[in-house]
Amino acid sequence: MVNRFLLVIISMVFAVSLNAQQWKPNAGIIYPYAAQVTVSSGQNPQYITDNNPHTFWQSANPLPNNYISQAGLNYFLHPHHYTLQPEFPANNQAFDGNTNDHEEINSGKLTLRLQPATSLLLLSLKADVKDTLYLTVQTENHQIIRFKYAPSDNFQIRNLILKTTKNISAIRLDSKTSFQLYELAALHNLPVETVLFDYGKPRNIGWISSRQLNSTSVTSIKVQASNDKQHWQNIINLNPKAIPFLYQPLAHPVQARYLKVVFTLPLRNYQKAALWEFNVYNKYGPYGRRPAAHPSQNTFAQAFGLNTFWGWGYNVYSDQLKPGTGPQKFIAVSKNLRNYEPLDWDMVRPQQIPDFTKMAAGGGTPAKKWLNWDREYGTWKKDGFHIDVTLTFKQQNFPDTLWKNTYAEAFSFGKAYALHFCKKEHLVSMIEVGNEPWNYNAVTYRQILAGMVTGIKSVSNVQVIPCAVQAYDPEKDDNNYIAHYVNASAKNVDGLNTHIYSYVFQENGKRTAVNPEDPRSEVWSMNNLLRFRDKNLPGKPVYVTEFGFDSGGGGESCTHSECVSEKTQAIYGVRMAMILWRLGARQFYWYYFANEAYKSYLHNRSGLCGSYKTGFRKKLSFKTFAFLQQTIGNYHFVRIISENKNVYAYLLRNYNSGKSIVMAWRPTRSQHFQQKREIILVPGKVSKIISILSQQDIPFKVTDKKLQINLSGVPVLIYLE
């Protein structure tokens, strides 16, 4: 009996160990090309590729004196550029870049002739003289520039700026007595600092992610490519004053083993170059190659959802609202609702598990004596909605220090919640453990997730997923990297969850919306999450529980940097929904049902309607998504017809009727309503084409299944017989 017990324990330990070994926490990451980094000067070159945009390499300052010892900067370190009279030994110490050794100039005279004549910006002179030393510069058109080096200057390096645009042909040093020349150096061009990357072999380079904030200390930054370190071509210019970490796909990818970042500095003392981060990828960048498309498991009506909150902006129970308002207003848009249910509405602390039966009878919760979720959710259910609940908690409203016996408390809450809302009342179809608890202690969250999932699953088979995470950047400032919150102990979750907004930072540090097809758009981070899923939770779905765009309209203006126009919100929203569907998202929920009645700032203008101040006036996005529910609500995504820089076109099919529709658009970044003649190969006879905005017929011509159409950034529905 004892031996059998020990065998069971050993088997359990082995199974846990095996699971931990098989779990790949970084499976979603696309790593940049590894490189050997060589810098021209300075400290901490390892910070350039440490995947932390808050640490940086900084060069030394070329001026006033550091350039003298650098062969790439000191023109006179190359003897073939000049001749000396009288002649010096080949290893003369006056032109060797070392300011601590010298040559004796017994005659008191030295002439340096440049061959050929060339432009110089600055001369540096160090000497030991008994009488004044005169330095005379002669240009090829016989212009003369004179400087003095007095005995009071002895052993000091004097920088002499040459304010001439003419080429210099000769430099003479004259003194009445002999002198010791410690160094004569020249700066031919503006000073530069460089960072050289050796990738070991030629690489397909198509994407650079970098942060290079330099303020006024750098005038330009060029990135050059080479395969032999002799012949270089410029591939991109970087803005020295760019503030944030930037994603920069190359217009023309190159094949190269070496990249060199060249920083040009002004002709001022003590200026330095800095590089905070520099990562290089192939043309797919940190999101990687797009996955192959597969037919969707659900229809568009089953996939598209809407985020909302108790009371729908009226701050009263939905059963107190007039017909056609609140949830009923949005029946035309979606039958899937995602509600933010604050944990601090259900309990004051995790040790007091709510009596949800008492709540349903009108007794409230330990935190809100007036609260009855059954009343609210029951109204939504009666209206025909499926309800996804995200149990929200953050440090601000439910700090992680409240949890004492975390796993046990989470288990008890999850069990009580699922027993009532899922098994007994059948109100909730899916539960998310947290929304964006990204400032929570990660260990505490993982214990909450494990406890809640196990508690919920002990009484119900309702779908349970974790909080929103991403799988492509461990150092993201949001602190939402998947490995912090989901580990091998979460293998019993029913899928993964993410929030995606198509916003990118511009060079000035402001964030703006970009079209969802843009390679920089975070919509493609789905690729990383899918890779993570395939390695660790194969076969389980991925949910995008928030996506959307901020816009004016609905009676309210939108003035913050992420805003787009009302029309752009509608067309970007549809295009992004189609891409998420094509990428395999099981469901994708628009954020938010309506604007919030505050001044314009991020996400409070993302509604499909204006706020309660405007009477929830419908935006064009509301009308457009309602139109899609009518037209393609019963259709599945089937396959990609076209997905390139000219045309995106997806085939949709209604399996009940056998009918097919192609949705197509140009992936415009601007000028969304400008039409261009495009050709689409359609798998069937076209009966009509309708714009999703105007819902009007569009003329077309078909020859040998090649559809010719004037297409814009506004998606169209191409009906096939």
Q: Would the pLDDT of 481 be above 70? A: yes
Question: To the nearest 10°, the Cα dihedral for 521, 524, 525, 529?
Answer: 160
Residue-wise pLDDT for 74-111, tens only, equals 999 999 999 999 988 777 899 999 999 999 999 999 99
CATH of the domain at 688: 2.60.40.1180
Q: What is the mean pLDDT of residues 125-130?
A: 97
Q: What is the mean pLDDT of residues 540-555?
A: 97
User: Residue 604 to residues 342, 559, 596: CA-CA distances in angstroms?
Assistant: 19, 11, 5
Same domain, 78 and 59: no
Long-range contacts of residues 600-605, Cβ cutoff 8 Å, at least 24 apart: 600/556, 600/557, 600/558, 600/559, 600/560, 600/563, 601/560, 602/550, 602/560, 602/562, 603/548, 603/550, 604/550, 605/550, 605/551, 605/552, 605/556, 605/558, 605/560, 605/563
User: Which DSSP string corresponds to 160-175?
Assistant: EE----SPEEEEEEE-
Nearest alpha carbon to residue 690 among 668, 709, 666:
709
Determine the Cα–Cα distance for residues 365 and 450; give it in Å rounded to an integer: 24
Taking residue 320's Cβ as centre, other Cβ atoms within 10 Å add up to 11
What is the domain range of residue 217?
Answer: 36-63+191-287
Q: Is residue 343 part of a domain?
A: no
pLDDT-derived band of residue 597, with 50, 70 and 90 as boundaries?
Answer: confident
Residue-wise pLDDT for 16-70, tens only, equals 444 445 999 999 999 999 999 999 999 999 999 998 989 999 999 999 999 999 9
Percent of the chain with pLDDT over 90: 91
Angle between helices 442-457 and 406-418 (to 10 degrees): 40
pLDDT-derived band of residue 11, with 50, 70 and 90 as boundaries?
Answer: very low
Residue-wise pLDDT for 145-169, tens only, equals 999 999 999 999 999 999 888 999 9
CATH of the domain at 148: 2.60.120.260
Q: Would the pLDDT of 14 be above 80? A: no
Angle between helices 566-582 and 620-632 (to 10 degrees): 40
pLDDT-derived band of residue 351, with 50, 70 and 90 as boundaries?
Answer: very high
pLDDT-derived band of residue 8, with 50, 70 and 90 as boundaries?
Answer: very low
Same domain, 48 and 72: no
Q: Would the pLDDT of 331 be above 50? A: yes
Q: Could you give the number of structural domains in the chain?
A: 3
Q: Is residue 344 part of a domain?
A: no
Q: Is residue 182 part of a domain?
A: yes
Task: Quote the DSSP letter at residue 361.
Answer: I
Q: CA 583, 584, 585 angle in degrees (round to 5)?
A: 105
* φ, ψ for residue 238, nearest 5 deg: -105, 145
Residue-wise pLDDT for 361-403, tens only, equals 999 999 999 999 999 999 999 999 999 999 999 999 999 999 9
Same domain, 73 and 42: no
Residue type, position 362, single letter: G
Which of 235, 261, 287 is a domain's end point?
Answer: 287
Q: Which of 376-380, 504-508, 514-518 has the lowest mean pLDDT?
A: 504-508
Q: Which residues contact 316 (CB under 8 A, 6 or more apart)?
A: none
Same domain, 70 and 166: yes
pLDDT-derived band of residue 406, with 50, 70 and 90 as boundaries?
Answer: very high
Same domain, 146 and 135: yes
Q: Is residue 488 part of a domain?
A: no
Which of 165, 187, 209 is a domain's end point?
Answer: 187
Residue 21 pLDDT: 56
Q: Would the pLDDT of 13 be above 90? A: no
Q: Would the pLDDT of 2 be above 90? A: no
Q: What is the mean pLDDT of residues 488-505?
A: 95
Same domain, 73 and 169: yes
Q: Is residue 54 part of a domain?
A: yes
Residue 120 pLDDT: 96
Residue 88 pLDDT: 82
Same domain, 181 and 71: yes
Label the pairing between strands 676-681 and 706-711: antiparallel
* φ, ψ for residue 286, nearest 5 deg: -70, -10
Q: Is residue 586 part of a domain?
A: no
pLDDT-derived band of residue 215, with 50, 70 and 90 as boundaries?
Answer: confident
Same domain, 103 and 244: no
Positive or negative, the CA dihedral 392, 396, 398, 404 is: positive
Q: Is residue 578 part of a domain?
A: no
Residue 547 pLDDT: 98
Determine the Cα–Cα distance for residues 388 and 465; give it in Å rounded to an integer: 10
Taking residue 241's Cβ as centre, other Cβ atoms within 10 Å add up to 16
Q: Which of 83-92, 231-240, 412-421 has the lowest mean pLDDT?
A: 83-92
Q: Is residue 582 part of a domain?
A: no
Residue 598 pLDDT: 83
Q: Which of 4-8, 313-317, 527-531 has the lowest mean pLDDT?
A: 4-8
Same domain, 112 and 203: no
Nearest alpha carbon to residue 442 among 463, 469, 413:
469
Residue type, position 337, single letter: L
Q: Model's pTM, two decimal places?
A: 0.90
Percent of the chain with pLDDT over 70: 97
Same domain, 176 and 205: no
Which of 223, 253, 287 is a domain's end point?
Answer: 287
Same domain, 56 and 72: no
Q: What is the mean pLDDT of residues 577-594?
A: 98
721 SS3 class: coil
Q: What is the mean pLDDT of residues 234-253?
A: 94
Q: What is the mean pLDDT of residues 535-556?
A: 97
Mean residue pLDDT of the chain comes to 94
Same domain, 157 and 213: no
